[in-house]
Amino acid sequence: MDFARPPVRNTAARLDIGDGRSVLRIDVPVSEHVHETNTGDAYLRVGDESKRLTYTQRRELDYDRGAVHFEGEPAADATLNDLSSGALRTYRAAVGSTADDLTALRARSLTTRDGGINHAGLLLLGQHPQQWLPHAFIRVLRFTDDDPGTGSRQRLEAGKDARFEGTVPEALSRASKCIGDWLPAHRALDASGRFTDVPIVPGPAWLEGLVNAVVHRSYSLAGDHVRVSLFPGRVEIESPGRFPGLADPNRPLEIARYARNPRIARVCADLGITLERGEGIRRIFEEMRTAGLTDPTYEQTSGSVRLILRASSRLDPRLSAALPRGAADVLTVLREQNRPLGTGEILEMTGRSRPWVRHVLTALESAGLITWNGKSARDPRATWEIIR
């Protein structure tokens, strides 16, 4: 209370433990503020030690706590004349504004109190936001090997290193098209029973990851940008800024909804880029599982979060080797249809013979991967269903 600014909230209680003895218990709730000592120092507890924060680290912690939002701070000398007329028209139509431009911008808190443009307004509607925030771009790279290599052994493919600037919606649109064009694919059986080129990672999964990275990145971390690396066997999306507070990257599905940039998130929802329902991570998991791929993983560094989408089957390699050849095609059909299917429907979608399909279905059932639902062995309405 005496040596921290602002004072640390706490409640105290004396607990009787018998024999005239007691223990003083002090509860300190999680705070939305960054506290400092009387000398102006702030610390972050890491493991079993307290690390003194630099000014930049402390400022970033302020942003993470929500006490301050970098996106709401004024963009130096930016005015309405620095906004794109086309982006402004699209924005006004999305929010249904019939008032003047300044009033329309204030409706989503994209201006300062004196009518200037803040960072969010510039990033969403600016003619060239990178004039103020040069690190606010998306970089897409494609490598020829799963090991990116370094120096003379670097495996970056020639001509496959692109940077996308402009407003947040513009950069997302151009970067997502580039990723779709460059993403490695393989020949596989689709839901219609035809062999086609299938991307190694489903589009909705990497697109959701890309949007999350751009909308929720830390724009206050100068010198870093959103980076998408395409490898033959995986996709990595790295975004500046860490998960909030005590969030555990090893348990991403338990991370509570968090918007580092609420103004940007709100306008992106207005534009149909996001839903703003806090379901982004869960959707990525569902898309990967539906495609029969391993769960996404998150890695957190000192200043960024990396999402890794691997193009590897959820099946244990030993189990996969024990199954009949082509069993993965049947599993793919069941996953993509997302409903129980009769044997005849599976025959039609795979284009295989009945004996082969029956043999594979029996093997998959024995392995505990699918279940049969029917009243008798000759039930014409019997179906097969994947076990999630």
Q: What is the C-alpha separation between 341 and 339, in angstroms, rounded? A: 6
Q: Which of 188-191's residues contact partners 24+ apart within 8 Å by CB, and which partners?
A: 188/329, 188/332, 189/329, 189/332, 189/333, 189/350, 190/336, 191/332, 191/333, 191/336, 191/337, 191/349
Token pair listed for 309: 């989408």
pLDDT of 256 reads: 66
Instruction: Please check the confidence at residue 246 and state whether its pLDDT lies above 60.
Output: no
Radius of gyration of the chain (CA): 26
Least confident range from 83-87, 274-278, 296-300: namely 274-278
Strands 49-52 and 195-199: unpaired
DSSP element (H, E) containing 16: strand 11-18
pLDDT of 268 reads: 94
Mean pLDDT of 237-246: 82
Least confident range from 214-223, 306-315, 332-341: namely 332-341
pLDDT tens digits along 10-25: 889 999 999 999 999 9
Instruction: Please check the confidence at residue 317 and state whether its pLDDT lies above 90.
Output: no
CB environment 190-209: b (16+ within 10 A), e (fewer): eeeeeeeebbbbbeebbbbb
Mean pLDDT of 278-289: 86
Q: What is the C-alpha separation between 280 and 314, in angstroms, rounded? A: 21
pTM: 0.71
Tell me the domain boundaries of the chain.
4-65, 71-131, 138-258+268-310, 317-386
Which spans in the chain are helix H? 55-65, 85-95, 101-106, 119-125, 168-182, 203-215, 262-270, 280-290, 317-322, 327-337, 343-350, 354-366
Q: What is the C-alpha separation between 280 and 39, in angstroms, rounded? A: 42
Q: At 277, is the pLDDT very low, low, confident or very high (cuts 50, 70, 90)?
A: low
- DSSP bridge partners of 49: 46
Cα-based angle 118, 69, 168 (whole degrees, multiple of 5): 55
Instruction: Please check the confidence at residue 249 and state whether its pLDDT lies above 80.
Output: no
**What CATH number belongs to 317-386?**
1.10.10.10
The CATH class given to the 138-258+268-310 domain equals alpha beta
Helix, strand, coil percent content, the chain, rounded in steps of 5? 35, 25, 40
pLDDT of 325 reads: 84
Least confident range from 48-57, 148-157, 204-213, 293-302: namely 48-57
User: Which one has a higher pLDDT value, 34 or 164?
Assistant: 164
Residue 240 CB coordination number (10 Å): 23
- The answer to whether the 138-258+268-310 and 317-386 domains have the same CATH topology is no
Nearest residue to 84 via CA among 160, 207, 166, 2: 166
Q: What is the dihedral of CA 108, 112, 115, 118, to 10 degrees?
A: -80
**What angle do the packed helices 262-270 and 168-182 form, to 10 degrees?**
70
Burial of 309 (0-12, 13-18, 19+ CB in 10 A): buried
Q: At 221, is the pLDDT very low, low, confident or very high (cuts 50, 70, 90)?
A: confident
Cis peptide before 240 (omega within 30 of 0): no
For 290, half-sphere exposure in the C-beta direction (CA atoms, 13 angstrom radius) is 16
User: Which one has a higher pLDDT value, 289 or 212?
Assistant: 212
Nearest residue to 217 via CA among 177, 264, 253, 250: 264
Q: At 66, is the pLDDT very low, low, confident or very high (cuts 50, 70, 90)?
A: low
Mean pLDDT for all residues in the chain = 87
pLDDT tens digits along 79-121: 999 999 999 999 999 999 999 999 999 999 999 888 899 999 9
pLDDT tens digits along 156-171: 999 999 999 999 999 9
